[in-house]
Structure 1
């Protein structure tokens, strides 16, 4: 795998900092890749802008800043408007279909997915959207395996919440199978099998 840049974006309270850490551990610890992970969020505990940035590579990473995104996840229209210009040609935008009502078009793939709605319907609360996101990312991008994510989720989430978080992860994986065309699954431009 060449250098692969990922940004998870939305607002505080959506669990994207934890999702970024879990994705980093899935790729690094359980997937054997080199990973850098940074996070940025506003002073508000809920509602302010929030993002997690990851770089995943087979080789050492010499520059840990995301400049040209291969994958962008957006859970709000504001985050989509702010960061979509950073997507490189051939990249992948995964946007929540209810909160991102005007996804951009460009030389990249766009998947509008009901992430927050699925978290509410399947798990009873939107806070599970972060795990739903990870399942969607695993299936649509092929960036990490679902098994690596299962291991990282079980190791990283608070004790006693493992089963709930794993169910949300599986709900996201199943959701991607429902909403994405079969020819769009697991075909990121830079990842080899």
Structure 2
């Protein structure tokens, strides 16, 4: 792992990206790394722009903000257009398949994250956890075991099985790319 990995999760309010960021940060800590998570969302709690950011490092984190992320998740067109040009040179952009791909110098991986949540899991509200599975499998920034533990400790009681199913579905989406 690089010394410092910056992740930006972006979309609209209500998509659970803040929870996804918290889960990734907690998983990193469970893996013995340092992590810091921050969030930003518009005045509308649901529907407005939303982003969560996570910095993961094997050493001390001297600056807690994401400046040039190596990983960008975009679940809406607005999020993609807003953040696509502010990436690390070697960064990857993970896009939901509903988003129109535009030119960028970064590698783009497009997957049906929202559709998988809606059709395969039966609840579009778990797209955030599908995305955590995709990021975990694709980047190995956190281990599967740590991500599973973080999910179980953070999701609402009674939804653990649903969320683990969503996580595994995301891992499977990413595995198909290998």
| TM bucket, shorter chain | over 0.9
Written as runs of structure 1 = structure 2, the 5 A alignment for 1:14-33 is 14-28=15-29, 30-33=30-33
1:56 has 2:56 as partner:
yes
Other-structure match for 2:108: 110
Is this contact kept in 1: 2:85–2:104, CA < 8 A? no
Other-structure match for 2:82: 82
Give the alignment's TM-score, normalised by structure 2. 0.96
How much does 1:103 deviate?
Answer: 3.7
How much does 1:145 deviate?
Answer: 1.2
SS of 1:88's partner is coil
Question: What are the ranges of 5 or more consecutive residues in structure 1 without an aligned counterpart?
Answer: 183-193
Is this contact kept in 2: 1:95–1:103, CA < 8 A? no
Count residues with an aligned counterpart: 177
- Output one character per residue of 1:7-32: Cα deviation in whole Å (capped at 9) or x when no partner: 0000001010111100110011x111
- Output one character per residue of 1:104-163: Cα deviation in whole Å (capped at 9) or x when no partner: 320x22100100000001111210100000000011111111111101001111111111
Distance in 1 (CA, whole Å) between partners of 2:153 and 2:119 is 25
Written as runs of structure 1 = structure 2, the 5 A alignment for 1:106-145 is 106=105, 108-145=106-143
How much does 1:38 deviate?
Answer: 0.2
Distance in 1 (CA, whole Å) between partners of 2:35 and 2:175 is 27
SS of 1:67's partner is coil
How much does 1:102 deviate?
Answer: 2.3
Is this contact kept in 1: 2:20–2:129, CA < 8 A? yes
Distance in 1 (CA, whole Å) between partners of 2:160 and 2:146 is 14
C-alpha change, 1:169 and 1:68, in structure 2 (3 Å) is same
Distance in 1 (CA, whole Å) between partners of 2:129 and 2:8 is 15
Distance in 1 (CA, whole Å) between partners of 2:95 and 2:78 is 11
SS of 2:161's partner is helix
Is this contact kept in 2: 1:27–1:56, CA < 8 A? yes
Distance in 2 (CA, whole Å) between partners of 1:162 and 1:44 is 28
Other-structure match for 2:156: 158
1:68 has 2:78 as partner:
no
